[in-house]
Amino acid sequence: MARIVGGLCTSHVPLLGRVIDSGRTGEPYWQPIFEGYEPTREWLKSVNPDVLIVIYNDHANGFNFKYTPTFAIGCANEFNPADEGNGPRPVPIVQGHSRLAWHMTESLVHDQFDMTIMNEMDVDHGLTVPLSLVCGQPAAWPFRVIPICVNVIQYPQPSAQRCYALGKAIRRAVESFDEDLNVVIAGTGGMSHQIHGARSGLINQTFDNYFLDKLVTSPEELAGIPLVEYVREVGAEGMEIIMWLTMRGALDDRVDVMHRFYHVPAMNTAVGNLVLENAKAQ
Amino acid sequence: MEQVLTQLKERMTDYQDDFDDIPGTVLFNGERLRQGYQLNKFLSSLVDAESRAAFKSDQAGYLTKFAMTEQQREAVVKRDWSAILNLGGNIFCMTKLAIVDGTPFQHVNAIMAGMSHKQYEDMMNSGGRHMDGIRSKRGG
């Protein structure tokens, strides 16, 4: 049986990818951020998962507005890094797990989540920057990846509650797979930022830290917050942190915090990283 | 049945009113998608190397391939970022044009916020824009 052995959440700031790719992680402005991820990298190495399920959103790179799936699952054997206007990132091709992804699709659709099935899809910084943050620069990613892309850029968007419920359905899907696999699930995006209009540059450390607290202790409270309040508090682009709730939904109600990191700013964005495991003492 | 429909309609209207209450924010809803579809199609096309080359070598000619309005075309030519946004541009599509131009996106943010680059950078380095007074048009 496959099992979910842990969850992590992280921002997916595109500039962090460019800093890694150009070897500038040691610069004084950036160094504290990458140092903050060090315990996560160590944790991931020790857990050594077979598969990482990544909940992320595309930013008009892999998809354009020709079609906008609310929830899409990558069922292919591999996914190329997307060209986002300056050529694809120089990172390894993402290897999928087609058989598990198809099993998950079957399970999710029977479980009332009508996924869009992606057989060819480029993955943008929403997915590849988290991989770089938690793995560094390996010649090949050390696990297979199942991308799950959530529409958080075109309204109407799924609610926080729906994202949380998706996590619970993902857990049922993984645990009903017959192969013996260790799976980690990652929620990406956030934290507070807005990069358009007169509110550009907002950062809300109070809400971000409240979110980090409650994600551990009472995710249902966060799932009950309407999208409009997320947009108000963490910005129109920061509201993507609802994808962290999908990660949280796939874990037990009680969890242990393995690592927590928060930093302001990475250019326009508050950066957050949380690593969770199901609580040893339930 | 009629009651259900009325409730649903009210819920959708309240939802839109709530979003409209947030100041300095342009949410990319269906109306904006319809208004900006061709504009965003142009912006998105820049994720392809050949298209970028074609655009760079003949900007005006390249723009005629997309059935956008004259206003939208003019906003693109002038790099009037706020106008592009207000005419239905999606912020993530707009990043492609900034990348092609080599314009740091923080400069675009500063322009949209009506600040100098330096003011904007200083604001970010001191913890970002404060939340006071930017939550709600009704409530401040």
Scanning every residue of chain B, which has its alpha carbon at the shortest distance from the alpha carbon of A267?
Answer: B124
CA A96 to chain centre: 16
Largest CA distance in chain B: 58
Quote the DSSP letter at residue A115: P
- Give chain A's domain count: 1
Which tokens in the block code for residue B69? 């309005």
* Length of chain A (residues): 282
Distance CA B22, CA A136 (A): 38
A153 contacts B28? CB cut-off 8 A: yes
High-pLDDT (> 90) share of chain A, %: 99
Distance CA A47, CA B79 (A): 48
Q: Which of A12, A59, A97, A193 is catalytic?
A: A193
Residue B6 has a pLDDT of 87
Scanning every residue of chain A, which has its alpha carbon at the shortest distance from the alpha carbon of B83?
Answer: A197
B29 contacts A84? CB cut-off 8 A: no
Does the pLDDT value for residue A199 go beyond 90? Answer: yes
Asked whether the beta carbons of A103 and A183 are under 8 A apart, the reply is no
What is the span of the domain harbouring residue A60?
3-278
53-82 in chain A: CB under 8 A from chain B: 59-61, 64-65, 82
Picking from B91, B97, B121, B138 by the largest number of A CB atoms within 10 A of its own CB, the best residue to mutate is: B91
In this prediction, residues B61-90 reach a mean pLDDT of 98
- Helix axis angle, B30-45 to B91-101, nearest 10°: 20
Does the pLDDT value for residue A282 go beyond 70? Answer: no
Q: Which residues, other chains included, contact B11 with Cβ-Cβ below 8 Å and sequence gap of 6+?
A: none
Q: Each residue of B25-45: pLDDT tens digit?
A: 999 999 999 999 999 999 999
Does the pLDDT value for residue A236 go beyond 70? Answer: yes
A83 contacts B49? CB cut-off 8 A: yes
In this prediction, residues B112-137 reach a mean pLDDT of 96
Residue B8 has a pLDDT of 81
Which tokens in the block code for residue A71? 């929830």
Instruction: Using the CB atoms, write b or e for B82-119: b if 16+ within 10 Å.
Output: bebbbbbbbbbbbbbbbbbeeeebbbbbbbbbebeeee
Asked whether the beta carbons of A222 and B125 are under 8 A apart, the reply is no
Residue B140 has a pLDDT of 63
- Asked if B68 is an interface residue toward chain A (Cβ–Cβ < 8 A), one would say no
Taking the CA atoms of A154, A160, A164 and A169 in sequence, report the sign of the dihedral they define.
negative
Picking from A59, A232, A240 by the largest number of B CB atoms within 10 A of its own CB, the best residue to mutate is: A232
Q: Which of A12, A125, A196, A259 is catalytic?
A: A125
Which tokens in the block code for residue A185? 């699930």
Distance CA A151, CA B30 (A): 13
Residue B9 has a pLDDT of 82
Residue B5 has a pLDDT of 84
Distance CA A178, CA A193 (A): 41
CATH number at residue A157: 3.40.830.10
39-58 in chain B: CB under 8 A from chain A: 40-41, 43-44, 46-49, 52
Picking from A151, A199, A263 by the largest number of B CB atoms within 10 A of its own CB, the best residue to mutate is: A199
Scanning every residue of chain B, which has its alpha carbon at the shortest distance from the alpha carbon of A29?
Answer: B125
Q: Each residue of A59-112: pLDDT tens digit?
A: 999 999 999 999 999 999 999 999 999 999 999 999 999 999 999 999 999 999
Mapping DSSP to helix (H, G, I), strand (E, B) and coil, where does residue A6 land?
A: strand
Residue B13 has a pLDDT of 76
What mean pLDDT, rounded, does chain A reach? 97
Is A193 in the active site? yes
Taking the CA atoms of A130, A136, A139 and A142 in sequence, report the sign of the dihedral they define.
negative
Residue A143 has a pLDDT of 98
Does the pLDDT value for residue B16 go beyond 90? Answer: no
Residue B120 has a pLDDT of 98
Question: Among residues A170, A173, A145, which one has the least CA distance to residue A243?
Answer: A170
- Asked if B117 is an interface residue toward chain A (Cβ–Cβ < 8 A), one would say no
CA distance B75 to chain A (A): 16
Residue B61: C-alpha distances to residues B41, B54, B66, B71, B74 (Å): 15, 9, 10, 16, 13
Residue A88 has a pLDDT of 98
Does the pLDDT value for residue B11 go beyond 90? Answer: no
Residue B7 has a pLDDT of 83
Q: Which residue in the set A87, A192, A231 is minimally distant from B25, CB to CB?
A: A231
In this prediction, residues A28-34 reach a mean pLDDT of 98
Which tokens in the block code for residue A76? 């292919």
